Structures are given as C-alpha cells and as structure tokens.
A and B are shown apart, each in its own frame.
Chain A
C-alpha cells in the first residue's frame, strides 16, 4: 500500500504547483476586480465615448474561449513584440531590495496573468453592472430629493448597495479564476494541473496525481465559499433575510 502513495518529491511538486495556482488566482482576482469596476463604469456611462469601447471589450473577452485568448497572448502577441523586449521578458531578473529579493516572473506567468485578468475582468464587470441595476430606482430618487450631488449618490447610495448585491456572484468569479488558471498549463505555466500531469508522467500513478490536484482545487473552492458565507452573514445584501 505504501508504494501506492506519492513520494515526498512528487508531493513537493504538487504543493509548489498549488502555490503558483493560489498566487496567480489571487493576483488575477485583485487586478480583475479593479479592472472590472472600471469596465463596469465605462459600460454604464451615458457617453458612447466610454460605453462603446467597454461594450467591445466585454463582447470580445466574454465570447471567445479562454484557451484561445491565452494562446494569443503567449504565442501570438509575443510574435509581435520587438525582439529586445521579448528577450528581456524571458531572461530571469533579480532585484535585491533592503530585506528581500524580487524575482521577475517568467513570461509564461506574465502571459497567464495578463490573459486571465482581461478575461475575468469582463465577467466581473457584468456582475458589478447587475449589482448596480439591482439598486432600487427609488433609492436614487430619494437621495436626489435629499439634495445629494450625483457623485454623492454614487458613492454613498448606489455603490455600497451594488457591492453587497454583487458579492455572491463575484465570489463565483473568483472560484472561476482558480479553476480557469488550470488552462495556463497549455502555455507552460507550472501551476497545479501542470504539476499533476508531470507527476503522472514520471510515476504513472494517475489516480494519486490527479486525485491530489482535485482535492487541492476543492479545498480552495471550499475556503472561498466559507469566506463568502461569513462575509454575507456580516453584511447581508439589501432585501435579504435579516435586512
């Protein structure tokens, strides 16, 4: 039975891949939330100067497969870059700061981060938009009647409620970001799925390799789920039970 388990070396690979998955998904979630908010504002802006580019973005990134987008950023875009820049991006760089060193991420990491962020942001923007639309029109009218300026209406009335409404679907998008990060194995990023495939190749212990990876993904999703439940208990959405 013992030789059915994975050797520590291979578990190490999986843990290392898991670390890459977690860091990548976290960075993508943060960046995509900021970008998604900006996109949402652009999309609902009354001026076409803002809303049309935002519409175009949403339709391009939501309506094409993520895998194709990743190939585009990794293989396609790099073919267009000037050679000097590409060489710089692909060479390991290291900066020693006062307390710790900063390592420049690999090009696979950059392309994966970039592609996933642009894709996830498009979905997050739409979650925000539905949150904004979920704020009752009466609230805005009431705020205006109370003499709030348009900016005050946005910052004090619409946004706080819109955030709460969009929190559950937003967490769903973060879960998607974790799961979608597995596609970056196609562009050679050594995240969890890549590591599990690598372990499988070397050990032929197919069930164990993919089993561990699956368990780690489930674990991550459960943690996000629990965090979401905790957040919602603390700040229930307007109209939800207890409000």
Chain B
C-alpha cells in the first residue's frame, strides 16, 4: 500500500471521489472501466476470511462470494485485508468497492454505508447433549450456560424468561459446565459454537440443534449512495442462491464433510 504508484493512484481516487459527489460518477462503471474489483475481506477470521496456510492467499466464505462477483463483472479481483474496525473507513475513504467481511447489518452502520441483501446469517444457537434439545420450546425448562456480558445472554433472557441462565466468563468455561452436566445447553453464535465443538475430543456426544433464536444478518457493505452497484450485488446474490452456487459455497466451509458442519438455516432472500 505504500508503493509510490499506489499512493498516486490513491490520490487520484481520492480526488475522483471528491469529484464524484458532483459528477455522479457511477462506481459500477468505474469498476468495469478499470477492470478491477477491490474487495475488503478479513484475513484472520476463519472460515469467513483467513490466510490459507497452503496457498498463502486470503480465502474463505466471504472471499468465495467476492470471486463470484468479480467473475460476473468480468474483472480482476483485488483483495484488501481488513480488521473489523476498518471496514467502514475503507468504504468511506474509497479504498475498496465492496466489503465482504462478516459484516453484520445494523441501522447504525446503514447510515454510513449501503448494505446488500444478507447472504449469511450468524444465528444464536445452542450446543446440547445429543437428543436432549430439538426445539426452542424446550429452552424455557432448561439450565443454559451463557457467556457473561454478551448479547446472547440478553436475548435469551428476553425471549425465554423461564429458562435458568448461568453466566460463565467465556465459552470454554460454559462448555466445561455442559460436559460436567451443570447446564443442559450453552448458547453462542452458531459459527463460534461449531468452531468450539470441532476441537472437543468427545464431540460425538454433542450436537448443535438446527434452530436459532436470533439472527445477525451478514451483508456486503457498499459505498453510501451507490445504488447501481448495490443492485448488481443484490441481483448476483439472488442468482447465486437460485443456481445452487450459494449452497456450494456454504458447503465448502460449513458442509457435512468439513471440520465445522453446521446445518444451513438461512438462505439468501429469507427475511
């Protein structure tokens, strides 16, 4: 990023973006003209975006979507690594065209950026001993381990006030309590639970029942006001779902043959 040529390009882009406010230049046209789609992705948040130890390239579920979008535009894909805090600045500073980095859609963020329709949902789910938990109706009668200070705790208490909540310092402690039988289930975001379960020696005894009690919807972040680009992403996502490509991408990271099998509850277009 510090190469002089890049700096020059950046300066040009900044200048262009300042002009764009006046000239209503369209980002979608710019991308096609430049032949490059710049996408910000995580580089240390598997399986959404991480450096693949074999290829040394950023890969992951978000990256697969980025590749699909670039392919549909017929342009080259340029991945820009990001952390959670830089996602909005990268867009507002016009350093990337799209953010695909497990970006939860919130009202607050929507004031600063455009969001596509969601392409992934990270729901609050549960781990329980096999066969003990099959529907959310049972939650009210259970003792459930939660992580202290998380929204999971608040959501669970609001929706199932009769459940007994026991709060632990972190998820591994909660899981130990589940293994010991102090609680009958523990709750966290589904992808986090499956990551935890993947490293447990006696994981065959536990399961993540295929339901969630809340959904964090994940969408692509786009520059504010870029309607045509947003429409393009939305249409592409719907078509990826219709063609089964979205399922293929999901299965590559959360499918039954992966280390982290998680039943797909959310589909693109669901509300």
Contact = CB atoms under 8 A, between A and B. Distances in A.
Nearest to B153: A201
Interface stretch (B13-21, B54-62, B176-184): B176-184
Contacts of B150: 201
30 contacts: A74-B177, A74-B182, A75-B173, A75-B176, A75-B177, A75-B180, A78-B180, A83-B181, A86-B180, A86-B181, A87-B181, A90-B143, A90-B181, A90-B182, A106-B164, A107-B182, A108-B166, A186-B169, A188-B145, A188-B166, A188-B177, A188-B182, A197-B148, A198-B153, A200-B149, A201-B148, A201-B149, A201-B150, A201-B154, A202-B154
A79 interface: yes
A205 B168 CA distance: 21
Contacts of A108: 166, 182
A123 interface: no
B75 to A, nearest CB: 44
A200 B181 CA distance: 28
Closest 8 pairs (CB-CB, A-B): A188-B166, A78-B180, A86-B181, A201-B149, A75-B176, A79-B180, A107-B182, A202-B154
A174 interface: no
A79 B178 CA distance: 11
Contacts of B153: 198, 201
Interface string B157-200: 00000001011110001001101111000000000000000000
A78 B182 CA distance: 8
Residue with the greatest number of chain A CB neighbours at <10 A, chosen from B169, B173, B182: B182
B180 A188 contact: no
Contacts of B179: 79
Interface of A (DSSP majority class) = helix
Interface in A107-121: 107-108
A217 to B, nearest CB: 20
A128 interface: no
Interface of B (DSSP majority class) = mixed
Given A188-B145, A202-B154, 20 more contacts: A74-B177, A75-B177, A75-B180, A78-B180, A78-B181, A79-B180, A83-B181, A87-B181, A90-B181, A106-B164, A108-B166, A108-B182, A188-B167, A188-B177, A188-B182, A197-B149, A198-B167, A201-B150, A201-B153, A201-B154
B194 to A, nearest CB: 23
Contacts, number: 43
Nearest to A86: B181
Interface residues of B, number: 19
A90 B184 CA distance: 9
Interface string B21-65: 000000000000000000000000000000000000000000000
A18 interface: no
Nearest to B174: A188
Nearest to B184: A90
Nearest to A78: B180
Residue with the greatest number of chain B CB neighbours at <10 A, chosen from A87, A194, A198: A198
Nearest to A194: B167
A106 to B, nearest CB: 8
A143 B50 CA distance: 81
Nearest to B179: A79
Contact of A188 (B149, B154, B168): B168
B260 to A, nearest CB: 25
Interface in A30-77: 74-75
Interface in B129-169: 143, 145, 148-150, 153-154, 164, 166-169
A114 to B, nearest CB: 14
Residue with the greatest number of chain B CB neighbours at <10 A, chosen from A188, A197, A202: A188
Contacts of A86: 180-181
A137 B177 CA distance: 53
